[in-house]
Every structure is written in C-alpha cells, then in structure tokens.
C-alpha cells in the first residue's frame, strides 16, 4: 500500500512539474489535439492532413509522399474501416506523459483513449498520441502510436527523443452491444 501511495505521489509531482515547466506549450498541444481528434471523427481529411506528422506514416520514409498522395492514403484507410463496419466514436485525452525540447523542436506524448464501434460491439483502447512542434510549441503535428512502442516510432522518426514516455500497453476493453427486444 505504501509503495502504491508513493508511486501516485511521484506521478502527480512529475505531471505537475511538466505542466509548470511548459504551460503554454501544453495548452497548445491539448487544444490542437482536440481539433485533430474531432477532424478524425468527422472525416475532415484536409484538417487531419494539416495536423499529421507525415514522417510517421510507414511508407513516408521509403519515398517522399506528396500532400495529395497522403490525403488519398488517409481517405482510403478510412474507407476500408467503414467497409469493415469500424467507426471511431470518440477520442479523449488523458495526461501529458512527457514533453521535451530537442534542439529547436518540442516533442510530446499524451494518453489517448479511443472508443471504436465495431460490427459486434465497441472497443475502448488506450494508446499514445505523439506530437511534434517545430516552432516552440505554437503549432503541433500528431502521430497516433496505437500498437507501437517508442522504439517502433524512433525507427520511423529517428530524431525522436529517448526521454519520451509512452502509455503503458493495455488490453483493449470490449463492450458487447446488447440488442434491445422489439416491442409490439
């Protein structure tokens, strides 16, 4: 019990220290993450593109992708999800896990909780949202690190800091849809 209490206190102090060190950057990264998440839910592909870290897309490093090609890739991926009966219902954000300055760039990770409707129920998953700002935390771009570790992301984006903290991998929760009986 004492270890758990100590761990909670240390985590609270860590989050408080991060917030005190970069309050404006954290405010900006949260506000823009909300815009990015809402665009994802509403299928606003141009806004998604504006806030996407192109380098984090697996094929982006193999060949330079134009914006038009990235936009088409995002639309095709979403179309495939829809055909499979998959729909993102909500995206919420937890704590900022880490924020570091590397040279002239801010890098940040946040907890992301996604509710996805599937054919036979709903899945609630927790993952990491990675954010990068080249202009001192004013404007941010994002990469969803769902299913990826920090090491996986560093392979895609070699400039990422080893100090970034990623959310602990957890098994997604499955909520089975209950059919309501038809009334006569």
Give 25-81 pLDDT, tens digit per residue: 999 999 999 999 999 999 999 999 999 998 777 665 445 567 788 888 889 989 999
Report which DSSP code applies to 66.
P
Among 45, 184, 144, 35, smallest CA distance to 152 is for 144
Distance, CA of 163 to CA of 109 (rounded, Å): 10
Residue-wise pLDDT tens digits, 98-131: 999 999 899 999 999 999 999 889 999 999 999 9
**What pLDDT is recorded for position 2?**
63
Is CATH 3.40.50.720 the right assignment for the domain spanning 2-176? Answer: no
Q: In the prediction, which pLDDT does 66 show?
A: 75
- Asked if residue 3 has pLDDT above 80, the reply is no
Q: Give 172's DSSP letter.
A: P
Backbone angles phi, psi at 157, to 5 degrees: -130, 85
State the number of CA atoms in the 13 A half-sphere of 93 facing the CB.
Answer: 22
Residue 148 has, within 13 A of its CA and on its CB side, a CA count of: 19
């Amino acid at each position: 019990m004492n270890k758990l209490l100590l761990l909670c206190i240390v985590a609270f102090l860590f989050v408080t220290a991060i917030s005190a060190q970069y309050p404006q950057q954290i405010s900006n990264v949260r506000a823009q993450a909300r815009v990015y998440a809402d665009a994802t839910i509403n299928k606003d592909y141009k806004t998604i593109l504006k806030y996407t870290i192109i380098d984090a897309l697996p094929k982006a490093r193999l060949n330079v992708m134009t914006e038009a090609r990235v936009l088409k890739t995002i639309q095709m991926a979403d179309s495939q999800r829809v055909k499979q009966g998959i729909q993102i219902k909500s995206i919420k954000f937890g704590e900022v896990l880490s924020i570091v300055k590397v040279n002239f760039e801010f890098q940040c990770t946040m907890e992301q909780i996604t509710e996805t409707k599937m054919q036979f129920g709903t899945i609630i998953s927790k993952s990491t949202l990675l954010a990068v700002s080249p202009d001192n935390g004013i404007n941010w771009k994002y990469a969803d690190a769902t299913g990826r570790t920090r090491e996986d992301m560093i392979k895609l984006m070699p400039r990422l800091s080893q100090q970034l903290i990623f959310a602990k991998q957890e098994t997604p929760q499955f909520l089975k849809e209950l059919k309501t009986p038809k009334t006569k």
